[in-house]
Structure 1
């Protein structure tokens, strides 16, 4: 028979793994009597774990939410996953809290786990935000909580939204669908009742209002997958495709290390110390050609032909911009 202390840890792990256990099932897993299970349950309650008992033939034990945070039990791999997740937190509003949580966890770990976490140190690069100033952690988390509650209750949400820093706030009424984390920001995916279409709203640019509005019937998201829809919308598509509408391949006379920070989710392949291959996309061929032109280096278009044509059209426009007299229309593209 296991010692009482180790048996309690196994019992707690079992209660965390399933919503409910019968006394016979727990006794069988622990290889003890049902009476011993009852005593161990009482010991867990004394330690602060809120274990509920359902009486009757079909009754059992379940771990329910409590009024305070009791000690938690994690296995080795869960600890590693939690540490990596905390290190990977990209939103600046909660980065400090995540660092403090990781330090708290690390301080109570045995040496073997502490060494594994230190060996898996992750540095998350948080790019500067050129939009609105970052929201305070308390304001942001309050908005996240309000939005999450409205999603769960399926209630219309009223909010003031500032699409960019200099804009005036806009009053919007939406049916909240999903809370989405993308790169360094959180977004609300919702059906905009005034625009009669799906929209994404940055949480740190909105001020949700309470009380919320009437309940609504959840609409079907095009394609059915939230990740695909949001990625597609950010790439200028209809919400059903994750690939860029326009994608091309070029060779740049620049080191890959200088190109990677400016290619978002593109692919950069080194071709030597001073050249690289880039595969990237945009919402239009003209936008893609213009974006590639921001690199101060020679480039060669591999394909497709449509990208070459867009580059040629831009070249003609830029040439005309330097030679056409003010007030005189430039020659149209041919």
Structure 2
């Protein structure tokens, strides 16, 4: 497969998008950002911004003509309409004869059977099926990039632990290894996929910056902030899943009562593949953090 220079990025302004944009620019790619007509975001001078209608196949196809790769960092929520947007982007990329598509994964191992059966990942599974169908025709190829939870973001917003509030939920006791990667490193890994087209073709690629435990992170957080005032709660993943499944049976289920329960199960639940035992770090040039480097990150985020 020939090399790629022109890359289109959808979702450049969310939690992850800016890091992917930086990774692409640092790697020397020519980047076009897809924006909504209502967007007023600004980008570096070297970036081309193209306004699109995400509900229009024609609009997306026209915007992607001449692009060699498409990366989606668009979000998934409980809104079914967003799945349609993701699928339209895949269809448009195929019609525009794009060589490689990297879907909006960047997290849990959705190739794991237990994980892919969780309702919150139904949209990602649907996109995977669409990409496999396109690849089977010999046209557009794809790469699914699994990174584990966003390490820095997850500690900043309280998803992995609440550093500022000094609290952490030790899921199933907090001793289970899980893979995680910081936003800048995810951006670097995404760009590296496009430098390794043949070896990342039509498969899942796994990368992590650390494989750690919640207990270990809690100890590092206490080292950074002092042990006084910390609250640790042991939480059962099975109980969280029971609550989530029960909520979904209601006539009007509340996403607050099931989305994060399912997401946590995919990361910290037993048998859900949250720990990548054989990551592709060497292929993508990603270095794992030492304990000292992980402690430095935790300490910097705790300030």
TM-score by length of 2: 0.26
TM-score by length of 1: 0.24
Q: Which has the larger radius of gyration?
A: 1
By relative contact order (CA 8 Å, sep 6+), the higher-ranking structure is: 2
